[in-house]
């Protein structure tokens, strides 16, 4: 069975641009969560979506938004990119909201 997939693998943007990252959960999983991992740190929670509704949000500015589609895939959008947004963005899926989260390989975003 395929695991969590994310696209693109790498992305380079300049300050002020916006970016869209995509995630496909493990088949049958209905919950998707997004995390930001800055170099040298542990992942930080951004959002959780379950059954297409936002169920939780971390301490991130409104420039960050996300959505979940009827097939449970998800997009993370970041507007007005800052240098500090450079990070590995990880998507995790779980069967239900409180189940074990399984992570994808991540998208490496570099903001110049």
Partner 1 sequence: AQSVTQPDIHITVSEGASLELRCNYSYGATPYLFWYVQSPGQGLQLLLKYFSGDTLVQGIKGFEAEFKRSQSSFNLRKPSVHWSDAAEYFCAVGGEYGGATNKLIFGTGTLLAVQP
The footprint of partner 1 (CB under 8 A) covers 4, 31, 33, 35, 40-45, 48, 55-56, 58, 90, 92, 94, 97-106, 108
Give dist(CA 16, CA 63) in Å, integer: 11
Q: How far is the CB of 16 from partner 1 (least distance, A)?
A: 27
When the beta carbons of 63 and 96 are compared against partner 1, the nearer one is: 96
Q: Are 52 and 105 in contact (CB under 8 A)?
A: no
Spatial contact of 104 and 91, defined as CB atoms under 8 Å apart: yes
Q: How far apart are CA 64 and CA 28, in angstroms?
A: 26
Can you read off the two tokens belonging to residue 52?
């297409």
Q: Please, what is the minimum distance in Å from the beta carbon of residue 83 to partner 1? A: 20
CB of 56 to partner 1, least distance (A): 3
Measured from the CB atom, the residue of 42 and 70 that comes closer to partner 1 is 42
Q: How many CB atoms neighbour CB 94 within 10 A?
A: 20
Question: Measured from the CB of residue 46, what is the shortest distance to partner 1 in angstroms?
Answer: 9
């Amino acid at each position: 069975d395929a695991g969590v997939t994310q696209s693109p693998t790498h992305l380079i943007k300049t300050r002020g641009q916006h970016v869209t990252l995509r995630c496909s959960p493990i088949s049958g999983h209905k919950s998707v969560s997004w995390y930001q991992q800055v170099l040298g740190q542990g992942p930080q929670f951004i959002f959780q979506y379950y059954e297409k509704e936002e169920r939780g949000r971390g301490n991130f500015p409104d420039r960050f938004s996300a959505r979940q589609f009827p097939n449970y895939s998800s997009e993370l959008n970041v507007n007005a990119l800052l240098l500090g947004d450079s990070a590995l963005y990880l998507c995790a899926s779980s069967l239900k909201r409180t189940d074990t989260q399984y992570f994808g390989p991540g998208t490496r975003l570099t903001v110049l």
